[in-house]
Each structure stands twice: as C-alpha cells, then as structure tokens.
Structure 1
Amino acid sequence: MSKAKAQQPQVIHKVIMVGSGGVGKSALTLQFMYDEFVEDYEPTKADSYRKKVVLDGEEVQIDILDTAGQEEYAAIRDNYFRSGEGFLCLFSITEQESFQATVDFREQILRVKNDDTIPFLLVGNKADLEDKRYVSVDEAQERAKQWNVPYVETSAKTRANVDKVFYDLMRAIRDRKMEASRQTNGKTSSKKSKKRKCTIL
C-alpha cells in the first residue's frame, strides 16, 4: 500500500508562452528555469521545459512550452494551445505592435479552447527599459480589465516578477482543476442519489 502511495504521479501544470517574436518569452522562461538572463536567444522552434517546484507547500511539476512567436502552421499552433492549461501572453512595453498582437493571440486561444475563463495572464516584459516605454501601464491594465485577467510587468533581465507570473498562473490552473474535480464529483454523487431513489420506487 505504502509503495503505491509513494509512486503517486506528481501533478503537472502545463503552461504555454505566447507573444510576438522578440518580446522575451525565451528570456523569461530561461530566467525562471535556470536563473540566468540570455540576451540574444534566437529560437527557431518551440521548446519545452519541465521543472519541479513547490507551490504553496505542495511539490508539483511545471511544464512550459515556449512557442517561437512566428508559428508557420496554424494547425501546429492550435495543437500547442489545445495542450495548454494556462497561458502567459507576453508583449514588450517598448513595442506597441507586440501589445496589439496580444489581441490576436487571445482570440486564437479562445477559439481553440472555446472557454474564456482559461487561466491567462497578460505580461508586459522588459520593465527595466522604462525610458523606452511605448505601452503605458494604464493602457495595459485597461486591456486586462476588459479580458478579466491579471496584468503583471516583468523583467527577464532584473528577474522582477518572473517567479510571480509563473506561480500566479500555476495557482489559477490548480484552482481550476480543483473546481473541475469538485463539479465532477458533485455530478457523480447526485447521479448515485437519483439511482437510489429509483430503486426505492
């Protein structure tokens, strides 16, 4: 019995990084994974990372898929989105275009998931480049409010809020899974009670 308990599969939270090319998805991922800042990283394809972390006292695994920004095939991109349980949608605060692109990413994700309550964080990266800012905090917060999602500014360079965005998203994924299992259990127990009533009749 104790053996089976020890081999209990660890909870895995699947996170997908989305955003235009050059906004720092890989830099943010690598900073979270390895505590290092990689300035010139040229991803040609999506990369997958897995790490054991302690989330509110529970050991879990985070599975991060770092998409390459310009996915050539919509079908591949849709498959990535389908597999994700939560999304970090990045733009650079120094680049208005990347901020506008978040609208497309959000629409693509909602189309594939068909669910507008999917765990999702809007992330303004490169917060260390305040002097080159093009996207105001108010503008980004306004969009997050419209979408009913959190907005956080990060810097892969200084590590500001890097852990926060991953942990916040994992908490949202965990809460959603718990809610789903509660609903499933609720349905099964109500079915059982209905059956019992039928046997009495």
Structure 2
Amino acid sequence: MGREQNLPIKYYVSILTIWSKMAANKNKNQSSLALHKVIMVGSGGVGKSALTLQFMYDEFVEDYEPTKADSYRKKVVLDGEEVQIDILDTAGQEDYAAIRDNYFRSGEGFLCVFSITEQESFTATVEFREQILRVKAEEDKIPLLLVGNKSDLEDRRQVSVEEARSKAEEWGVQYVETSAKTRANVDKVFFDLMREVRAKKMSENKDKNGKKSSRNKKSLRERCCIL
C-alpha cells in the first residue's frame, strides 16, 4: 500500500459534501432501512482501503493508492435484518485537523487500523483514538474496534498479539486481526462494529423514550392537580 499524497482542502470538503448528500437522498425503497456510518482510521499504508474494497467487492487490490478519502455504501443483512452501511475510508495523512474532526464527528463507529508489520502504525492508533474521543466528547461510549491488518504476513510481524490485546483491553474495546489479502475476519470487523453501533442507537432511543414518557407523566400529574 502506498502513502497518501496531500491534496487541497477542497477535495476533503467535497467528500464530506458527497457523503452528506448520500445520507440525505436515500430513495424510497431504502428509506426504511437502518443506516450505520463507519469510519476507517489509521496511518497511511496499513490497508484501510484494501479492507474496505475487500468488504465491498470481494476483491483484494494490492496496488491501490488512495490520495483522498472515499465513501462507499452497501446493503447487507445484519442478524437477519437488512441494513445499510456507509463506509468513509479516510486517507491516513490528512494535514487538515478541522477536516479530520468533521470526518470523526460524522461517524457512528470506527475501525482503528494498524499493520502488524509496522510498530509505528500501532503507536499511531493512540493519537487517532484520542482525536475521536475529543471530537465525540459528549458521547458516553463510542463504538470502536482495534484492527491489526496484514495477518498473512506473520513472518514480518512487529506487533505481538499480546501487545495489541493489552491495548484493546486498556481501551475497553475488541481486538481483531485481519487480512485483506486472504479475507480473514474482514466481514467480522465490519459486522461486529455495526452490532455495536446498533446497540448504542437502541440504548439511546430507549433513554429518549423513557425521558419522554417521564415528562408526559409529570405533565399529566400537573394537569390533574390543576383540575
């Protein structure tokens, strides 16, 4: 995987605009489907695009060299329910902090990816997670998986399973090793993340409905007192 080149800010703004329009312009047949927004984050060259393209099209694109963020949408069946997944595959070396923040703000779940063959990419996941936590500071729990990609290159491993699992336990998240080349655990990380996103939405909706019900009961009591 090649390193991403820096592009003018207009390219990143364009991607955000396109993604917003995609979410807003769902056709009638799709309007009833749940939509889960996933962000791929991690250093350049760790295989974020390869994982995304493998999940989307069942293809391994070894020489793909993204120069900007790309957005994808796919209908899948999650535990018997047809849903949609939006995937924003971010470039790993954006220089624009504000654009990065907008990416993270728009996401509902995150795959934080590093390469098991590159210690530096593993170290960088700490900064990516801190950025996500800062942008999502008002949210209690953020759906996130730590993903060690390129598990097919075991002979070049620099990050041990134990080290990665320890970091995931520290963060309170799941750690999964994947291979975009062999497709090992590719579906797993996307579907597991969607389950976490769905669970969070259900919990939030339950809380909102509970608060609404409580307000309605209080209002009814007040009206009864007046009568």
Task: Tell me the CA shift for residue 6 of structure 1.
Answer: 6.6
Deviating 4+ runs (over 4 angstroms): 5-8
Number of equivalenced pairs:
197
Q: Distance in 2 between matches of 1:77 and 1:38?
A: 25
Shift of 1:116: 5.4
1:134 and 2:134 matched: no
**Percent identity at matched positions?**
76
On the 8 A contact 1:13/1:61 being kept in 2, the answer is yes
Call closer, same or farther: CA 1:43–1:7 in 2, change over 3 Å.
closer
SS in 1 for 2:36: strand
Deviations 1:18-59 (A, max 9, x none): 000000000000000000000011111000000000001111
Of 185, 189, 192, 2:216 maps to: 192
Letter paired with 1:54: V
Q: TM-score, normalised by structure 2?
A: 0.85
Which residue matches 2:14? none
Cα distance in structure 2, aligned partners of 1:6 and 1:134? 47
Q: Gaps spanning 5+ residues in structure 1: where?
A: none
Cα distance in 1 for partners of 2:64, 2:97 equals 23
What is the match of residue 116 of structure 2? Answer: 93
Alpha-carbon offset, residue 196 of structure 1: 1.0
Aligned residue number for residue 39 of structure 2: 16
The structure-2 alpha-carbon separation of the partners of 1:7 and 1:19, relative to structure 1 and needing over 3 Å to count, comes to: closer
Whether the 8 Å contact between 1:86 and 1:169 is mirrored in structure 2 is: yes
Shift of 1:119: 0.1
**Correspondence for 2:207:** 183
Give 1:65 deviation, angstroms: 0.1
RMSD of Structure 2 on Structure 1 (CA): 1.2
**TM-score normalised to structure 1 length:** 0.96
Counterpart amino acid of residue 41 in structure 2? V
- Cα distance in 2, alignment partners of residues 196 and 116 from structure 1: 31
